[in-house]
Every structure is written in C-alpha cells, then in structure tokens.
Amino acid sequence: MRRSVLLVPTAGGGLWSARSGGVRWICGFTDETALARFALHHAPGDRPMDYAALLGARIVDEVVPSLDEPAGLAVDIATEDGSMFFPPVVGVVPAGSAVDADVDSAETGEGRGHGR
C-alpha cells in the first residue's frame, strides 16, 4: 500500500473522506475503474469526479497526522470483495496519530495522547 499510487477524490479543496466508528477515513482507489464505481454513487450530478494521485505512504505519513483526529485509509470501498482498511494504529500510521499509541509516548512528546 505504501508504494502504491492511489486516486483520492477531492471535494471543496480537500480530500474526500467519510467518518465511521469514530474514525475519519481517507478514501483511495487503486485505479480509475474502482474510482468510477465509487463515483456512480457519490459524484455530484453528471460531473466527473476530481481526484488527486498520491502515494499511500504520503497519505498515512503526512495527510493522516495533519488531520488532528483519528484517521485511517480505506481503499477501494466500492469494490465488493476488494476493500482494504488501514486503521489509525501503530504500524500503519505514525505513532503520534495512532489510537493505540502508548499513553507514555504522549507524555514524552512522541504521541498525541489518543492511546488508551
């Protein structure tokens, strides 16, 4: 996922996302076909859906930490058997953005205190 280029829909000058289960999910797609399946249900009217092409690593290493809330990456959510979710946990996102980060790391300045 980190080395893959993902197509991320844009809306209102930012990346399209959805909230579910207390997590903000950045939605990315592996190709234009997967994005088109999503756009059938979420594009405004008959307008084409604008998108940005971003490396998966950039999404989880830069975008997710900038959101200042629990956030993860959802890939190909309109594909029935091919959806993948990368939650905001240590090993997927930087420790400072992970919901399972050790509380002690927040006290040493390494985390944001989302750990439980």
DSSP letters spanning 36-95:
HHHHHHHSSTTSPPPEEEEEHHHIIIIIHHHTSS-EEEEE-TTSTTT-EEE-SSBTTB-G
Q: What pLDDT is stored for residue 13 in this prediction? A: 87
Whether pTM exceeds 0.85? no
Asked if 52 contacts 4 with a C-beta cutoff of 8 angstroms, the reply is: no
Q: What pLDDT is stored for residue 108 in this prediction? A: 42
How many residues make up the chain in this entry? 116
Q: What pLDDT is stored for residue 42 in this prediction? A: 78
pLDDT in tens, the chain (116 residues): 899 999 999 988 899 999 999 999 999 999 999 998 888 887 766 777 899 999 999 999 999 999 989 999 999 998 888 899 999 999 999 888 999 987 554 444 444 433 32
Q: What pLDDT is stored for residue 3 in this prediction? A: 94
